[in-house]
Chains A and B, each alone.
Chain A
Amino acid sequence: MSNDAMTGDLHGTATGALGGRFSRVSLAIVASAIGLGAGAIVPTYVAGDFVLRLGSEGLLLGMLALSVAFLMNQAGLVALGAASMYGGAGYLFAIGMSEWDLTPTVALFAAFLIIIAYATILGALIVRTNPLAFMMLTLAAGEMISHAVLLEGLRDYTGGADGLVVRLKGSILGIDVADLADPARFWSLAWIVAVLAGLAFWGIARSRLGAILRAVRANEERMRFSGFNTFVPRLIGYVLVNVVAAIAGFLHVLNAGFVSPESLGLPVSTNALVAALMGGVAGSFGPILGGLIFAFAQDEFGARGLTQLLTGVAIVVFIVVLPRGVVGALSSALRLLGLRQETS
């Protein structure tokens, strides 16, 4: 049996005919392409600026939720430091453009490299630990970063508690950055990036890396006793999710034109976790949907002046009524109706 065939089989249903699987895959590709195009364009015609702005915020939160959910679902690790990568990437990008006068493209790549290096070093220190220690360490590292930007000595760079306003000029990969302040254009970009990130994680979950991560989560010791290095796959997983968090951070700066210490705070990380739970952590699109639901719900709750109270109630309701999130509940319903095959 060839390697390719073995990899493919590992993730498909064992009984499914090859032809059946292919048509399901091509169906999924066509559906994704239509979703990608339609989602990027249609809302810009039917929704107003306010809704688009709120939706874009939801998408960015959804990307953070996606990164939290992927690590949770595949590696069994809950990270509470998503905000430090999101806000940190934003700060680095902003400092690169405002303080060092880099072009947006160069600033973006520089910030990206720094975040990857930071995530690699931090990950190397913490992915070996148990899930609880991992959670506390991501929390601690995140809090350290969020306090570091307030340090007096760094005020010239970070702007302290006031944050940093960025003058957006030039272009990134052919997109004029000044255009991105327009809610419709930004929505399209955020939508495309979020969907691509979702597709990437969908693919990774079905790749060999995903299979190894899940097996390590299930029985780390047995994996070592089966000749696997269990450290490197988890480190790669950790860096990957932080790359997505960082991309969300860059998008935030491009849209808002400023960064503030709030973007690094614990509430951003916990909101991402809540959004992931609302949408459903098991798949790629649940967390993104969760981000959208969260953003619109927050606005709705805020309008009544009861944000925290109603958020708390909503979390309880979601966890009790829809423990697998909206997408998890929908897919169970489809399975009950016999429209979806049982997959393991």
Chain B
Amino acid sequence: MLKIEKLSVSYGSVRALTDVDLEVRGVGILHGVIGPNGAGKSTLLDAICGRRRPTAGSVRYCGEDITRRSVSWRRRQGMARSFQRTSIFQDLTVHEQLRLVAQHLRDDRLDEVIEVMDLGGYLDQKAGRIAYGVQRRVDVALALIGRPRLLLMDEPGAGLSATETLRLFEHVRDLVRERAIAAVVVEHDVDAVFACCGMVTVLDLGRHLATGAPEAIRADHRVIAAYLGTAA
């Protein structure tokens, strides 16, 4: 589904990612990406979805090299993302924005997305006026429209309580399983990742440290040394 080879991203003289290899094969499971602050998690997501051009390396999606494709092209090919800092249309009602995107992506099953993200009670409210936790669900819902094949989520739990984060993760996990899509989730909340992800990648200081099943990652001494140490 998604294959990243020797990916490097630099911001000026700062190297945010160095020679990262990553493959996301499994559909129906969440692929978590964790790492300490500054590990390059968000940069990795930005490079996958086209928000940031890699300095070197390639991104392959469904067998095709898409490193130079535009964001909107990727979206139309089924690669969707949600944002760490909620990115929705504050002045539009929840329904208006979901419908605008659904129409564009020719998705006639918007009701399902609304149901899955539990937004039925907020449809006629301006998105800027609803609670933050609900805004985050709108953000995820925008990414779910058009039946994406690959869902990228940047810290879906940001600004939510631990319970809310876990609930959102469980929601998304079920959805990903039901629809048999691939999903990469960058997250700070390690507990939620271990609870819901079927595969976990650890980044540290812009480098790939380990990828494996949650149990294996928890036991990996390199991961413990670099990051989990006290948390696990």
Q: Does A315 contact B (CB under 8 A)?
A: no
Docked-complex contact B87 and A222, CB < 8 angstroms: yes
One of A7-15, A121-129, A176-184, A302-310 at the interface: A7-15
In the A-B complex, list the 8 residue pairs whose CB atoms are closest, starting with the nearest.
A227-B75, A226-B101, A224-B71, A227-B76, A222-B87, A218-B89, A224-B72, A14-B124
Q: Does A100 contact B (CB under 8 A)?
A: no
Residues on A with beta carbons closer than 8 Å to the beta carbon of B101:
226-227
Residues on A with beta carbons closer than 8 Å to the beta carbon of B83:
222, 225
Residues on A with beta carbons closer than 8 Å to the beta carbon of B126:
344
Indicate which residue in B49, B88, B108, B124 contacts A222 across the interface (CB closer than 8 Å): B88
Answer whether A225 and B75 are a contact pair too, CB < 8 Å, given A1-B108, A6-B103, A211-B100: yes
Docked-complex contact B103 and A227, CB < 8 angstroms: no
Can you offer 9 A-B residue contacts whose CB atoms are under 8 A?
A3-B103, A215-B89, A215-B97, A218-B90, A219-B90, A222-B83, A225-B75, A225-B87, A226-B105
7 more contacts with CB within 8 A, not counting A10-B100, A224-B71, A225-B72, are A3-B103, A14-B123, A222-B89, A225-B49, A225-B81, A228-B72, A230-B72
Q: CA–CA, A212 to B87, complex, Å?
A: 16
Docked-complex contact B75 and A10, CB < 8 angstroms: no
Size range of the interface on B?
35 or more
Between A3, A208, A215, the greatest number of chain B beta carbons within 10 A of the residue's beta carbon is seen for A215
Docked-complex contact A10 and B91, CB < 8 angstroms: no
Docked-complex contact B72 and A10, CB < 8 angstroms: no
CB neighbors of B among A144-195 (8 A): none
Q: Which residues of B contact A (CB under 8 A)?
A: 49, 51, 70-72, 75-76, 80-81, 83, 87-93, 95-97, 99-105, 108, 123-124, 126, 142-143, 145-146
| Closest A residue, CB atoms, query B110 | A1
Answer whether A219 and B72 are a contact pair too, CB < 8 Å, given A14-B93, A14-B123: no
Between B80, B92, B105, B124, the greatest number of chain A beta carbons within 10 A of the residue's beta carbon is seen for B92
Q: CA–CA, A225 to B70, complex, Å?
A: 10
| Closest A residue, CB atoms, query B73 | A227
Docked-complex contact B90 and A215, CB < 8 angstroms: no
Distance to closest chain A CB from B108 (angstroms):
7
Indicate which residue in A9, A218, A228, A229 contacts B92 across the interface (CB closer than 8 Å): A218
Q: CA–CA, A336 to B89, complex, Å?
A: 27
Q: Does A99 contact B (CB under 8 A)?
A: no
| Closest A residue, CB atoms, query B97 | A215
Residues on A with beta carbons closer than 8 Å to the beta carbon of B104:
226-228
Q: Does A299 contact B (CB under 8 A)?
A: no
Q: CA–CA, A254 to B35, complex, Å?
A: 70
Residues on A with beta carbons closer than 8 Å to the beta carbon of B108:
1
Docked-complex contact A224 and B100, CB < 8 angstroms: no
Docked-complex contact A215 and B100, CB < 8 angstroms: yes
Docked-complex contact A219 and B71, CB < 8 angstroms: no
Q: CA–CA, A230 to B72, complex, Å?
A: 9
Q: Does A101 contact B (CB under 8 A)?
A: no
Docked-complex contact A225 and B96, CB < 8 angstroms: no
Distance to closest chain B CB from A122 (angstroms):
23
Docked-complex contact B105 and A227, CB < 8 angstroms: yes
Q: CA–CA, A1 to B147, complex, Å?
A: 17
